[in-house]
Amino acid sequence: MSDLKRAYNFNPGPGALPLEVLQQAQAELLDFKGTGMSVMEISHRSKEFEAVIQTAEADLRELLGIPANYKILFLQGGATLQFTMLAMNLRPAGASADYIVNGAWSKIALKEAQKLGTARAAANTEADGFNSVPETLDLDPKAAYLHFTSNETIHGVEFFGEPTPPAGVPLVCDTSSDFVSRPIDVTKYGMIYGGAQKNAGPSGVTVVIIRDDMLERTPANLPVMLDYKTLAASGSLHNTPPSFAIYMVGLVFQWAKKQGGLAAIEKYNRTKADLLYGTIDNSGGFYRGHAVPNARSLMNVPFRLPSEELEDTFAKEAKKNNLIGLKGHRSVGGMRASIYNAVTLEGTTALVNFMQEFQKKNG
């Protein structure tokens, strides 16, 4: 394995996975736990797979401190399908739902909810280029729920604490890009969901954490694959689940526990983010961050250079230095470094060293 050349991977999603997790998957690929088969080839109703999904669930419960009155679902269709499903399940006919819009993903979530019923923006920061977490909210006390996006992946803004909904209005959160990156208080939420591929595994599985009383809202006669209540009652095994993806997120949860849990992971993530934002702040304006300081994401760090030409050169030279995935989203431009859990301090250090060298040559 000494000739193994791994990229410093700053991709926004699918993103970097821990090397140890990939190595374990590789070691078990041909013969999973003595079955003589890959985990991809065994029945989702076998005792071996039952152990996979139950262990993944138990480890996530331990990592996030999820109480017993919440169900954990492993679903398909990405976070994008959850935009639709949560509106179908949690918003009764005729009711309205509130959405905090402070980036590209929350804007899409609101739009999807509006296709099926009434939903309104409790805040919208688009006029400021989606660079902050809104401080004042215009909340509907009768809303079916208040939806927010804890980390806006494209704009690099993150909530460090939950918005406070009116009494009796449950919080619903899209946590796709900061899932298991730091501890949160699950009891503040009615539902939390996220696609695995940013921070917790490969694409193909979406984790939904939902409080039992929320399941009572599911209307009768929803198509079964869109019905939280049925999916929860079957333990995510109503039909064939994405078994390999569930196995992989399970390995990532075990890895996260070995790192010391989410408090230790947050500390590591803050060290990486401080290094990167420090480099931007100390560049005398050569590098310019997107988010206002108190909303700076620990996961996605978008930044600009003095010209688009320099940004193109930066991306090309970075790639030659094994620093991959740094081009910003087409809607924002510039660069973006995604420093998810599996991105190492070593990789982040390689990036800031490159940034300082690049500025010396081109500043």
CA distance 191 to 170: 8
| Active site annotation includes 272 | no
Q: Is 201 a binder of ligand PLP (CB under 6 A)?
A: no
- Only one of the segments 76-84, 85-93, 226-234, 245-253 lies at the binding site for ligand PLP (rule: CB under 6 A); that segment is 76-84
Q: Is 177 a binder of ligand PLP (CB under 6 A)?
A: yes
* Count of residues in contact with ligand PLP, rule CB under 6 A: 12
Q: From the candidates 105, 229, 255, 272, give the one annotated as an active-site residue.
A: 105
Q: Is 199 a binder of ligand PLP (CB under 6 A)?
A: no
Strand blocks (E) in 212-333: 288-289, 300-304, 323-324
Q: Is 176 a binder of ligand PLP (CB under 6 A)?
A: yes
Residues 6+ apart with CB under 8 A from 170: 90, 145, 146, 189, 190, 191, 211, 214
Query: Which tokens hold the place of 49?
Result: 């797979």
Q: From the candidates 174, 178, 227, 229, give the one annotated as an active-site residue.
A: 174
The full DSSP string for 123-173 is EE-GGGTS-S--S-----TT-S-EEEESEETTTTEE-SS---PPTTPPEEE
For ligand PLP, the closer of residues 79 and 169 by Cβ is: 79
Q: Is 338 a binder of ligand PLP (CB under 6 A)?
A: no
The full DSSP string for 176-196 is TTTTTSS---GGG-SEEEEEG
Measuring CA to CA, how many Å separate 353 from each of 74, 308, 318? 39, 21, 11
For ligand PLP, the closer of residues 8 and 105 by Cβ is: 105
Q: Is 192 a binder of ligand PLP (CB under 6 A)?
A: no
Closest CA to 120 of 93, 92, 139: 139
- Only one of the segments 24-32, 73-81, 121-129, 228-236 lies at the binding site for ligand PLP (rule: CB under 6 A); that segment is 73-81
Query: Which tokens hold the place of 15?
Result: 């993103």
Q: From the candidates 198, 229, 272, 327, give the one annotated as an active-site residue.
A: 198
Taking CB under 6 A as the criterion, the residue among 80, 96, 118, 322 binding ligand PLP is 80
For ligand PLP, the closer of residues 86 and 305 by Cβ is: 86
| Active site annotation includes 105 | yes
| Active site annotation includes 255 | no
Taking CB under 6 A as the criterion, the residue among 107, 147, 182, 198 binding ligand PLP is 198
User: Pairing state of beta strands 300-304 and 288-289?
Assistant: antiparallel
Query: Which tokens hold the place of 272?
Result: 């990486």
Taking CB under 6 A as the criterion, the residue among 8, 10, 99, 105 binding ligand PLP is 105
For ligand PLP, the closer of residues 192 and 265 by Cβ is: 192
> Is residue 202 a contact partner of residue 245, using CB atoms and an 8 Å limit?
yes
In the complex, the smallest distance separating the C-beta of residue 105 from ligand PLP, rounded to whole angstroms, is: 4
For ligand PLP, the closer of residues 103 and 287 by Cβ is: 103
Q: Is 181 a binder of ligand PLP (CB under 6 A)?
A: no
Query: Which tokens hold the place of 112?
Result: 């999807």
User: By Cβ distance, which residue is nearest to ligand PLP?
Assistant: 78
Peptide bond just before 14 cis, omega within 30 deg: yes
For ligand PLP, the closer of residues 174 and 227 by Cβ is: 174
CA distance 223 to 221: 6
In the complex, the smallest distance separating the C-beta of residue 124 from ligand PLP, rounded to whole angstroms, is: 16
Measuring CA to CA, how many Å separate 8 from each of 52, 66, 337? 30, 33, 11
For ligand PLP, the closer of residues 176 and 243 by Cβ is: 176
Closest CA to 271 of 343, 174, 164: 343
Q: Which residues bind ligand PLP (CB under 6 A)?
A: 13, 78-80, 105, 149, 153, 174, 176-177, 195, 198
Would you name the residues annotated as active-site residues? Answer: 105, 174, 198
